[in-house]
């Protein structure tokens, strides 16, 4: 039995925004899949909250290619649909793989990629990949549409740059970002399913045409700080360098300058730091291999 | 013959189609909902409770607090009652407690029209405490000056006992002995049964009726009577199908409080369901043990003397208490037989943590983790083959225990070892995996298993059974022994069919126990039911058969000693002729104008024997050292549990136990905040139960030595499978990496610490 104050079903994005305006307040929340919101409601954290549901908005579901070849991922797309979508498979397969690490098949059928990032948690399995691909979020509010780099979307733990009457309406991956890249994501958790990441590392590379050099490497981490982050030092240690184990090891070491994990009862800082280096090493190795490089 | 066949479960179709009714399916929708308020300090006293605001929450019917409940202390352990006071369980808790002894202790309860009103009222209750310092660990709890939990138990020691054999001090003087010491720790874990603890209660004809998800309905009746101070006959307990218990529901959990709340609202129907979070801290857990072992061994591997000290974390209340530690000690004493002397001391110590009770294995998983890790350590230290070392020292064939009179009739351990090692290709892999150097290494390891069957002579062992014959020759069977998902009803039906000479489908098991109707039996625990229940089934079925044959003699005038029942017919043995069908006889008997008889039989069988149940596990692991991760590649359990009643169900029983053992060895552990005493991981996200993706294929092997003391040749299989898995994995990791990890579970946190100190993970200065 859920202690739900009220539940409103939006019939369009515009309707959702007007519902949010009409019922605006500190105890109003958007719900899509419900795999986070309903749990918090059961725990009593959101007891009595008003929910505005965007669950049935088909206009917010799906993955498309814009005319300028920007990949447009709509937020109410479930994780399992992301994983299986042909555009995802072709252009950003690592994202499909990353969200396939979430929870269980049931959760992946109900949970949405938009909810995953709007939650603002550092452990979100999609977030490190989206950061590593310089994703841009598209937000719609009463005043219209605005765009924000995903790094600016994350403000602090649990808080994203969404106004009370705004809705996330798309996640965009520019062509320049995904073109000719190969990535790998490693979710490190205490068991092989139904878990949250102790640390997550998503890395993608673009090799030179001869596959000998790393033209560009981008590294995203989850649970390495209060919000998902990019590892700029690791990237600098890899960019323009030969595609070699030496480069991989340098980048992995450099990642330690970027990450700032917590010491908590869920895992010690020492273990997370050790893993930050090791996961970077393994993800980088795998990405280079996938890109056709040899180490 | 039905015993020995993999017949389908009698409840399979109803369970698979969702037709089987569990407690929460049965409760009427009009039920009031009760919820419990749990203390938010680990130790102290409730000074004052303000329920004014909570009472004003719409829908709230009644609030009772720790200031209202009767001043009666009661025990909750699901043991048979003992009329000998010195043998009774410790009574140390009330329905609600003013004196708070753990973070989460029960201090008040709300009864409301629905769940939301009950939850809102809980949040509106204001509590004032006087806070005392708390202690979470048994060693600290025993130290002078530690916070005291129960006045009657000095230094928090619930009980301390010692046992031994031979002259230990003299034995260790032998020149040339090698002394090997190890300290092993096992985690506090929770049963994690799928169905939550749930019950409902109402008053009918001046008696209180409780329907509950329990393993032990007849014991619940007694404890509710005791806790509420009412005659036991005024309490009726009904147990429908249950979704797992694993020993947690071998404790009387919330049935007494549920009954009391029902009384407080004039006997209206009240449901009390305990949430998953509450189940973790407010029901029971497995004792976390620290076990110190010292062995004095000759260079050839023969153990001359050994000692064991057990420190068991009892938590806040006694529950099963030192009985569990006692079994830990017995397992240490009996698996290996040293040449000259041993001594063992067990301490069961109160701390401000959840109460420890019965959990699958009853102290033996802890014992085997320590004893079998230590065995591997000794073999490694002496550079001996670990199987050879074990064979040199393990319980010999023909051994008879003075206390239980158990006899080790067969060479079960060696036979199980042979099956296990062949299955996992142990010898080849043991060599193959020597001297690895890379970051990812493999290893194989094993552990023996010692267990016994039922609780005699520690406690009463008795089972009662009733059988009633129908007009068509089929029978209803009732036992106090309970189906809790393990398949007991199916095994009982197979046994009944064989003794009565009727088809399996003509046996109707009445799965529900109702203490008003079902004959007395103590329930599902101690891996006892096929053994002790089998005895009462055989006795009762024979009585029924005797009555039927006597009636057949009247009808046929053939000699009683020449008559038998086979395949539902009355058979004349000398000719082999079927004289009439059992259905014809039953119909005639019931409606006869000259001699009408309703055929039934009911009897109690008291069992005064016990039986060893031995076995082993072999595990193969791959250890990714930089990732601090273990992948379990292969695992096999081999058991001698006597004759198998139903091989398929037996294998399923072993699979479940192995799965629990995998969690125990690799991932499960309850964690507490040192500062507040609060349980940190009271949910299935943070409490790392292993998932199907963490399991390899679970292999099972059986050795079927017919148990001579058993009605059907069977002995314990319910608990043993959970026991040897964790030490087998730990020993495989030792083989793979050379690192002996003495603290379960072997999760990445533990591996990281161990690999850093072993130098396998470099640390930068």
Residues 6+ apart with CB under 8 A from B514: B217, B236, B237, B238, B239
Neighbours of B655 (CB within 10 A): 17
* Mean predicted confidence (pLDDT) in B359-377: 98
* Mean predicted confidence (pLDDT) in B372-397: 98
Give chain B positions within 8 Å (CB) of A270: 752
Q: Note the pLDDT of residue B725.
A: 98
Give SS3 for B296.
Answer: strand
Q: Note the pLDDT of residue B140.
A: 98
Phi, psi of B670, rounded to the nearest 5 degrees: -85, 135
- Look at A190 and B693 and tell me if their CB atoms are within 8 Å: no
Burial class from Cβ neighbours inside 10 Å (0-12, 13-18, 19+) for residue B437 reads exposed
Count helices and strands (H / E) in chain A: 13, 14
User: What is the sign, positive or negative, of the torsion defined by CA atoms of B240, B242, B246, B250?
Assistant: negative
In this predicted model, what pLDDT tens digit does every residue of A48-87 receive, in sequence order?
999 999 999 999 999 999 999 999 999 999 999 999 999 9
Q: Are B519 and B481 within 8 A, CB to CB?
A: no
Right CATH for A58-176 from 3.20.20.70, 3.40.50.300, 3.30.465.10, 3.40.50.1000: 3.30.465.10
Q: How far apart, in whole angstroms, are the C-alpha atoms of residue A92 and residue A24?
A: 37
Q: How far apart, in whole angstroms, are the C-alpha atoms of residue B546 and residue B504?
A: 20
- Look at A193 and B692 and tell me if their CB atoms are within 8 Å: yes
- Look at A1 and B747 and tell me if their CB atoms are within 8 Å: no
- Look at B694 and A274 and tell me if their CB atoms are within 8 Å: no
Residues 6+ apart with CB under 8 A from B282: B36, B38, B104, B105, B106, B274, B354
- Look at A190 and B752 and tell me if their CB atoms are within 8 Å: no
Give residue limits of the domains in chain A: 6-53, 58-176, 178-290
What is this structure's pTM? 0.97
Q: Minimal Cα distance from B672: which residue of A?
A: A265
- Look at B627 and A1 and tell me if their CB atoms are within 8 Å: no
- Look at A195 and B685 and tell me if their CB atoms are within 8 Å: yes
Q: Minimal Cα distance from B629: which residue of A?
A: A190
Mean pLDDT, chain B, whole residue set: 97
As a CATH number, domain B13-132+197-273 is 3.90.1170.50
**Using beta carbons and an 8 Å cutoff, which residues of B are at the interface with A?**
114-116, 119-120, 123, 626-628, 667, 671, 673, 680, 684-686, 688, 690-694, 747-749, 752, 761
Give chain B positions within 8 Å (CB) of A1: 114-116
* Mean predicted confidence (pLDDT) in B308-320: 98
Q: Chain B neighbours among A 32-51 (CB < 8 Å)?
A: 44, 47
Q: Which CATH architecture has domain B462-511+518-606?
A: 2-Layer Sandwich (3.30)
Is the pLDDT at B765 greater than 70, yes or no?
Answer: no
Residues 6+ apart with CB under 8 A from B425: none
Residue that is written with structure tokens 């700080």 in the block: A225
Q: What is the DSSP string of B525-549?
A: -TT-IIIIIHHHHHHHHHHHHHHHH
Burial class from Cβ neighbours inside 10 Å (0-12, 13-18, 19+) for residue B757 reads exposed
Q: Where are the beta strands (DSSP E) in chain A?
A: 6-9, 28-31, 50-53, 63-65, 71-73, 136-141, 144-149, 154-156, 159-160, 167-173, 182-188, 199-207, 214-222, 229-230
Q: Minimal Cα distance from B671: which residue of A?
A: A265
A6-53, which class in CATH? alpha beta
Q: pLDDT band for position B526 (50/70/90)?
A: very high
Q: How far apart, in whole angstroms, are the C-alpha atoms of residue A140 and residue B598?
A: 79
Structure tokens at A210: 């001869």
Between chain A and chain B, the number of residue pairs with CB atoms below 8 A apart is 54
Element (H, E) at B126: strand B126-131
- How far is CA B529 from its chain centroid? 12
- Look at A271 and B116 and tell me if their CB atoms are within 8 Å: no
Q: Which CATH architecture has domain A178-290?
A: 2-Layer Sandwich (3.30)
Q: How far apart, in whole angstroms, are the C-alpha atoms of residue B2 and residue B11?
A: 17
CA atoms within 13 A on the CB side of B118: 24
Q: pLDDT band for position B707 (50/70/90)?
A: very high
* Mean predicted confidence (pLDDT) in B274-301: 98
Q: How far apart, in whole angstroms, are the C-alpha atoms of residue B182 and residue B194?
A: 36
Q: Note the pLDDT of residue B591.
A: 97
* Mean predicted confidence (pLDDT) in B180-202: 98
In this predicted model, what pLDDT tens digit does every residue of B47-63 receive, in sequence order?
999 999 999 999 999 99
Q: Which CATH architecture has domain B395-455+610-757?
A: 2-Layer Sandwich (3.30)
Omega into A132 within 30° of 0, i.e. cis? no
Interface test with B, best of A191, A253, A281 (most B CBs within 10 A): A191
Q: What is the DSSP string of B440-508?
A: EEEEEEEEEE--B-S-TTTS--EEEEEEEE-TTS-EEEEESS--SSS-HHHHHHHHHHHHHT--GGGEE
Considering only CA atoms, give the Rg of chain B. 27
Q: Note the pLDDT of residue B177.
A: 98
Q: Can B13-132+197-273 and B395-455+610-757 be said to share one CATH topology?
A: no
Give residue limits of the domains in chain B: 13-132+197-273, 395-455+610-757, 462-511+518-606
Name the DSSP letter for residue B250. G
- Look at B116 and A1 and tell me if their CB atoms are within 8 Å: yes
Q: Note the pLDDT of residue B763.
A: 82
Q: pLDDT band for position B352 (50/70/90)?
A: very high
**Is the CB of A188 inside 8 Å of chain B's CB atoms?**
yes
In this predicted model, what pLDDT tens digit does every residue of B540-570 receive, in sequence order?
999 999 999 999 999 999 999 999 999 999 9
Low-confidence ranges of chain A (pLDDT < 70): none
Of B531, B548, B580, residue with least CA distance to B716: B531
Q: Note the pLDDT of residue A1.
A: 83
In this predicted model, what pLDDT tens digit does every residue of B415-456 receive, in sequence order?
999 999 999 999 999 999 998 999 999 999 999 999 999 999
How far is CA B663 from each of CA B552, B590, B695, rounded to the nearest angstrom?
56, 55, 10
């Amino acid at each position: 039995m859920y202690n739900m104050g009220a539940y409103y079903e939006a019939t369009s994005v515009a309707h959702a925004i007007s519902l949010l305006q009409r019922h605006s307040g500190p105890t109003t929340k958007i719900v899509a899949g419900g795999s986070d919101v309903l749990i918090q409601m059961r725990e009593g954290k959101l007891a009595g909250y008003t929910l505005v549901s965007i669950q049935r908005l088909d206009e917010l579901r799906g993955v498309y290619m814009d005319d300028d070849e920007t990949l447009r991922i709509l937020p109410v797309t479930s994780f399992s649909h992301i994983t299986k979508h042909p555009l995802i498979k072709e252009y950003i397969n690592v994202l499909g793989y990353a969200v396939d690490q979430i929870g269980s098949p049931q959760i992946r059928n109900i949970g949405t990629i938009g909810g995953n990032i709007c939650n603002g948690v550092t452990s979100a399995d999609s977030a490190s990949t989206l950061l590593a691909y310089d994703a841009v979020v598209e937000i719609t509010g009463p005043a219209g549409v605005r765009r924000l780099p995903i790094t600016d979307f994350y403000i602090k733990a649990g808080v994203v740059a969404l106004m009370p009457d705004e809705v996330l309406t798309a996640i965009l991956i520019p062509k320049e970002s995904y073109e000719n890249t190969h990535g790998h994501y490693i979710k490190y958790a205490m068991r092989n399913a139904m878990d949250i990441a102790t640390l997550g590392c998503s890395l993608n590379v673009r090799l030179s045409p001869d596959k000998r050099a790393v033209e560009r490497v981008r590294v995203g981490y989850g649970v390495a700080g209060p919000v998902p982050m990019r590892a700029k030092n690791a990237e600098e240690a890899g960019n323009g360098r030969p595609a070699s184990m030496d480069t991989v090891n340098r980048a992995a070491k450099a990642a330690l300058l970027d990450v700032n994990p917590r010491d908590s009862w869920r895992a010690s800082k020492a273990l997370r730091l050790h893993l930050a280096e090791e996961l970077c090493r393994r993800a980088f190795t795998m990405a280079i291999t996938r890109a056709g490089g040899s180490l | 013959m039905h015993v020995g066949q993999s017949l389908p479960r009698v409840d399979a179709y109803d369970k698979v189609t969702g037709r089987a009714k569990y407690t929460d399916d049965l409760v009427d929708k009009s039920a009031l909902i009760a919820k419990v308020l749990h203390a938010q300090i680990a130790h102290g006293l409730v000074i004052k409770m303000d329920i004014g605001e909570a009472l004003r929450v719409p829908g709230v019917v009644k609030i009772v607090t720790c200031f209202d409940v009767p001043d009666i202390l009661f025990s909750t352990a699901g043991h048979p009652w003992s009329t000998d006071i010195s043998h009774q369980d410790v009574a140390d808790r009330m329905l609600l407690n003013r004196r708070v002894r753990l973070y989460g202790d029960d201090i008040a309860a709300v009864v409301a029209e629905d769940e939301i009103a009950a939850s809102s009222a809980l949040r509106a209750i204001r509590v004032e405490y006087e806070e005392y310092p708390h202690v979470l660990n048994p060693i600290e709890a025993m130290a002078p000056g530690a916070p005291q939990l129960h006045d009657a138990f000095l230094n928090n020691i619930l009980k301390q006992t010692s046992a031994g054999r031979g002259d230990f001090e003299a034995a260790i003087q032998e020149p040339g002995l090698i002394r090997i010491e190890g300290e092993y720790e096992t985690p506090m874990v929770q049963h994690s049964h799928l169905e939550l603890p749930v019950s409902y209660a109402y008053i009918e004809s001046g008696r209180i009726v409780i329907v509950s998800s329990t393993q032990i309905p007849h014991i619940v009746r007694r404890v509710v009577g005791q806790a509420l101070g009412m005659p036991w006959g005024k309490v009726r307990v009904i147990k429908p199908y249950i979704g797992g218990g694993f020993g947690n529901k071998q404790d009387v959990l919330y049935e007494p409080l549920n009954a009391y709340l029902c009384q407080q609202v004039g006997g209206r129907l009240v449901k009390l369901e305990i949430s998953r979070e509450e189940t973790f801290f407010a029901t029971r857990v497995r004792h976390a043990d620290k076990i110190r072992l010292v062995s004095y061994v000759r260079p050839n591997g023969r153990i001359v003397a050994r000692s064991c000290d057990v420190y068991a974390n009892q938590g806040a209340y006694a529950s099963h208490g030192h009985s569990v530690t006692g079994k830990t000690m017995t397992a240490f004493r009996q698996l290996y037989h040293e040449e000259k002397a041993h001594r063992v001391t067990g301490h069961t110590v109160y701390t401000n943590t959840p109460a420890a009770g019965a959990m699958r294995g009853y102290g033996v998983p802890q014992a085997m983790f320590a004893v079998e890790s230590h065995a591997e350590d000794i073999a490694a230290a002496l550079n001996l083959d670990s199987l050879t070392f074990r064979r040199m020292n393990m319980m010999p064939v023909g051994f008879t225990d003075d206390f239980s009179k158990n006899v080790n009739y067969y060479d079960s351990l060696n036979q199980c070892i042979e099956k296990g090692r062949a299955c996992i290709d142990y010898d080849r892999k043991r060599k193959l995996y020597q001297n690895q150097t890379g970051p990812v290494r493999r290893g194989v390891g094993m552990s023996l298993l010692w267990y016994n069957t039922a609780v005699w002579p520690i406690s009463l062992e008795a089972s009662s059974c009733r059988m009633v014959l129908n007009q068509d020759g089929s029978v209803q069977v009732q036992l106090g022994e309970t189906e809790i998902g393990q398949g007991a009803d199916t095994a009982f039906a197979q046994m009944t069919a064989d003794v009565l000479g009727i088809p399996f489908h003509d046996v109707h098991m009445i799965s529900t126990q109702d203490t008003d109707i079902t004959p007395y039996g103590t329930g599902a625990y101690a891996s006892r039911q096929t053994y002790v229940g089998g005895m009462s089934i055989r006795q009762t079925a024979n009585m029924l058969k005797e009555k039927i044959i006597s009636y057949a003699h009247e009808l046929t005038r053939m000699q009683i000693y020449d008559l038998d029942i086979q395949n539902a017919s009355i058979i004349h043995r000398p000719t082999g002729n079927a004289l009439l069908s059992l259905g014809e006889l039953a119909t005639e008997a019931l409606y006869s104008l000259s001699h009408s008889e309703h055929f039934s039989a009911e009897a109690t069988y008291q069992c005064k024997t016990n039986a060893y149940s031995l076995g082993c596990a072999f595990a193969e692991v791959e250890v990714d050292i930089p990732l601090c991760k273990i992948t379990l590649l292969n695992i096999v359990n081999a058991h001698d549990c006597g004759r198998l009643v139903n091989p398929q169900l037996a294998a399923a029983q072993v699979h479940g136990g192995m799965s629990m053992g995998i969690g125990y060895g690799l991932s499960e552990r309850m964690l507490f905040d040192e500062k507040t005493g609060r349980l940190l991981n009271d949910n299935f996200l943070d409490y790392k139960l292993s998932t199907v993706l963490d399991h390899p294929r679970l292999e099972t092997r059986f050795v079927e030595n017919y148990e001579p003391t058993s009605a059907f040749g069977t002995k314990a299989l319910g608990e043993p499978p959970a026991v040897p898995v964790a030490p087998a994995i730990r020993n495989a990791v030792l083989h793979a990496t050379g690192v002996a990890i003495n603290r379960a579970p072997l999760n990445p946190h533990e591996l990281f610490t161990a690999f850093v100190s072993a130098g396998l993970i470099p640390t930068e200065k």
